[in-house]
Amino acid sequence: MADEFPAGSVWLVGAGPGDPDLLTRKAERLLRTGTIVFYDALVGEGVLALIPASVRRVPVGKRAGRHSKEQGTINDLLVAAALAGERVVRLKGGDPSIFGRSMEECSALVQAGVQVRICPGITAASAAAASAGVSLSLRGLARRVQFATAHKRGDAPLDLDWAALADPHCTTVFYMGRSAAAEISRNLTAAGLSGATPVLLACDVSLASERLLQTRLDLLHIAVSAFSSDQPTLILVGEALAVGGRMQMVGSGLSSLRDGLPQSTSPVRKLDAPSTVFASRPL
């Protein structure tokens, strides 16, 4: 272990979507070996509970719209801790290299002469698809998967290649998408994607509070109102989302908003594919 995590080095560790059971074995080992952990606001409480009491914890925020520390400050904290001889864990929600600004932190550390490595984690898109019993890729329907960030700077419009994102043979996932839901719907439709394209909204993925909502692209601006503004919300778009991956999913938390009206309050929800039934937790 000393060779894997020497004093004065840094590991960027993916905390996964929140459920500690989805943490990699290596990530858990690093958490138990580090001497200081800088963690984001979106890291699950169950994951934080794995950190030994002797290890110092430092919250550094990084929730959309509510950053407790600027990125430059975080970089400086990591460098200072490493140069002081600490074994530093930088714990990030999901995967560090998917909208995690990992290269900004790595660059600052390398420039300071600090050894830094990355331990990947399960990204929220994969966990959301698993919870809903769907596949991000699917032969004949989704030959490509693409991730985009919908994080906006103030009132500025999203600067995205909408023509590429509107590929009907692709599953597109928008991270941090709640505040931009109407804009996403409007621009994808304008770029040629059908308003009937299936959409999956997901928040608190893999946690007991997880919520999944099935809708369609032209109803996205309505469906997103089911989630509070401070909930980190993932928006998945594509035809593959209408085809279930299992005959029955127990505890999936999946609800449906189709054809403009909420479906029955029954705990059993059906997708368009007649053979697929999802059993959900109460919302």
Catalytic residues: 40, 62, 176
> Between β-strands 116-119 and 56-59, what pairing exists: parallel, antiparallel or unpaired?
unpaired
Q: Among residues 26, 17, 95, 28, which one has the least CA distance to residue 55? A: 28
Q: Among residues 230, 238, 226, 166, which one has the least CA distance to residue 200? A: 238
Q: What's the rounded Cα separation, in Å, for the pair 32 and 36?
A: 10
CA-to-CA dists, residue 4 to 28, 71, 87, 185, 266, angstroms = 13, 26, 11, 46, 51
Q: H or E segment at 103?
A: helix 102-111
User: DSSP secondary-structure letter at 180?
Assistant: G
Counting every residue written for the chain, the total comes to 283
Do 83 and 77 form a contact (C-beta atoms < 8 A)? no
